[in-house]
Structure 1
Amino acid sequence: MRWAALGEAGQVVAMLAGIEPERPSREVRNFSALIRDADQWRRDLADNGCIDLAAVMEPGISALLAINARGADCKPAALALWKEFVAARDAMLALLPPSGQLGPRRSA
């Protein structure tokens, strides 16, 4: 759920930056399911990455919305936050193991 919320937050930032919304890749769409079957260390890093990114995005979006509500141009700040979001998202996607090299399968 956190991954999906971060993706939606990224779309809000992109909109505020005046960037065309991205069409999510297969890895972005399926990240939660793909990382679930990865080694524990990859899952831990992904979880921590999501927590850290949320800690940046929440106040960042609040600030952007406040700037926008005052009628000021928030695009430069939104673009900076967008770049941070993309870098963090890409770092988490890099945690996905190469195809066929997933850790032990867990079942319900």
Structure 2
Amino acid sequence: MEQPEQIRAMRESFARGENSVSPLALRWQALHETAQEIAAMAALAREPFTKELAGFPARVADCGENRAYFVERGLNDIDAMLQPGLTALRLIASRGSDTTAPALALWREFYFARAGLLAMCPASGAVTLAAAD
């Protein structure tokens, strides 16, 4: 995953129209930046932004409108969970208290919610539970 300075430069170049990246890809990246901050508060190692993770927005475009709709809703739900949780963690940290346990609980919620989204539009060769769309 890029450093914050690289991410900032990337976003600025997108805003100028120098690259064409979908809004979903930007949201996906921002979601993972938030998750990395939570992981740090949980004393977890940085999670690599693997090809499977990075390629998810492109797979969403190929998996059909119905699944894309539910992925969008799922992203909204994850963000609605993470933002107040992160705010609470920052408050806990500002008081000098240990954030490890609550951050770990929030990170696990993120991890399993993200796994659900990834399963909706899996990488080629990945096993899925249902192929109905």
TM (normalized to structure 1)? 0.87
Can you list the C-alpha shifts for 1:5-47, whole angstroms capped at 9, x where unaligned? 1111110000000000111221211111111121111101110
**CA 1:98 to 1:13, structure 2 compared with 1: closer, same or farther past 3 Å?**
closer
Counterpart for residue 7 of structure 1? 32
Partner of 1:94: helix, strand, or coil?
helix
Find the aligned partners of 1:97 and 1:18 in 2 and give their Cα distance.
Answer: 29
Counterpart for residue 69 of structure 2? 44
- For structure 2, the residue ranges without an aligned partner over 5 or more in a row are 1-25, 126-133
Counterpart for residue 105 of structure 1? none
Find the aligned partners of 2:123 and 2:79 in 1 and give their Cα distance.
Answer: 26
Give how far 1:99 is off.
Answer: 2.3
How is 1:93-108 mapped onto 2 (pairs within 5 angstroms)?
Answer: 93-97=118-122, 99=124
How is 1:1-108 mapped onto 2 (pairs within 5 angstroms)?
Answer: 1-97=26-122, 99=124
Percent sequence identity is: 39
Counterpart AA for 2:87: S
Give how far 1:97 is off.
Answer: 4.5
**CA 1:75 to 1:45, structure 2 compared with 1: closer, same or farther past 3 Å?**
same
Assess if the C-alpha contact under 8 Å between 2:38 and 2:86 holds in 1: yes
TM (normalized to structure 2)? 0.72
Q: CA RMSD in A?
A: 1.3
- For structure 1, the residue ranges without an aligned partner over 5 or more in a row are 101-108
